[in-house]
Structure 1
Amino acid sequence: MQRLGKLYPVNSDFDFQSVLSQLCPDQDQYWGQVKLAEFDLAIQIVAPSVYMDPLKLGTLLGKAASALSHPLWLLWDDPTLASLVLSPLLERILTAALPVDLRDTIDFLRERATTVAPQISPSL
């Protein structure tokens, strides 16, 4: 919250949806970022030992995984998450019972995985 306050000093009463709307004025990009965040959180919960290990993730994806540069904890960047959406690990996860909303999110991301927009802001 402090970092966002520094980026938006005139908006002391902002909320995260407002900030994301400013960063992603296009609705497709906005909802893409929301869905990526939902998927990111789900993978942290469903496969934490893979998510938290860059070597395992890189091996699974067949390329180096790339993380965001300044988070308080490990978060993968959008292209890495897009690769994960198309990975064999996700195929395996999809064989299990998952909430319908999460399946919808995964379907949404799979349709768009080849057209992931660049990072919205490396300074966040």
Structure 2
Amino acid sequence: MPQPGGGQRAMRPQRWLYEHLTGTALHPSTLLLHACDVPLCVHVDVDQAVSHLAPGTHRGNMLERVQRGRHRNGATAIRMAGLKRSERVALSRELRAAFRDHGWDAAAIRACRTGIASDTPTLW
């Protein structure tokens, strides 16, 4: 992204797409919170009811993190804790492939995030 001094700055794809589609320039301290809890998600829409990303604060993100169990002891975080970088990369690529092959398929994404296949029988 060009800067006034002629340089460039790096920008996360989610942030760029949000600013591009909504026409809203986000303050550098503003975060984009993921309603779907998938950090790689770039599902942005001008209709906030459809968009997976919404502006928020660090405090709001930390509150959601605890409420949704994404903290260090949460079920979704345990799978990633202590993994080598190469293993995290492999999981990230697996999630990307699920998006590419199935589009937005909640069952496929849940299987990637939790490691539990969608055809695994449930207890109830």
- TM-score > 0.5, shorter chain as reference: no
TM-score w.r.t. the length of structure 2 is 0.25
User: Which structure is higher in helix share?
Assistant: 1
Query: Higher relative contact order by CA 8 Å / sep ≥ 6: 1 or 2?
Result: 1
User: Which structure is larger by alpha-carbon Rg, 1 or 2?
Assistant: 2
